[in-house]
Amino acid sequence: MKYKAITVWSVITEFGVKLNHIEDGWVNGDKPQPIKKEFTNQLAWQNLKWKKEHKILNEKRQVVSGIAYWIKE
């Protein structure tokens, strides 16, 4: 079975925590970075509060909690 490292980004607001997006690999940093410089609307992300979780995605596209899995490419 193949596994893939992912970073799950959630935005924190006064209404609670809401899933925003999933990024390939385990990302360093406290905030997501814009995909391209042309996407200026993503610069607003810098003003938001973020929750970052390192997770594993299995071959069935299911997010697996924890990191006690071997990652195979």
pLDDT, one tens digit per residue, over 28-56 is 988 887 777 777 666 677 788 999 999 98
In a domain, 60, yes or no: yes
Overall domain count for the chain: 1
Amino acid, single-letter form, for residue 1? M
Distance between CA atoms of 27 and 9, rounded to whole angstroms?
Answer: 10
- pTM for the complete prediction? 0.75
Residue 43 has which token pair? Answer: 């610069």
In a domain, 71, yes or no: no
In a domain, 72, yes or no: no
User: Which residue range is the domain that position 58 belongs to?
Assistant: 3-31+39-64
In a domain, 53, yes or no: yes
Distance between CA atoms of 40 and 43, rounded to whole angstroms?
Answer: 5
The per-residue DSSP string of 27-50 comes to: --SSSPPPSSTT-GGGGGGGGSEE
Give the residue carrying structure tokens 């940093």: 29
In a domain, 20, yes or no: yes
In a domain, 7, yes or no: yes
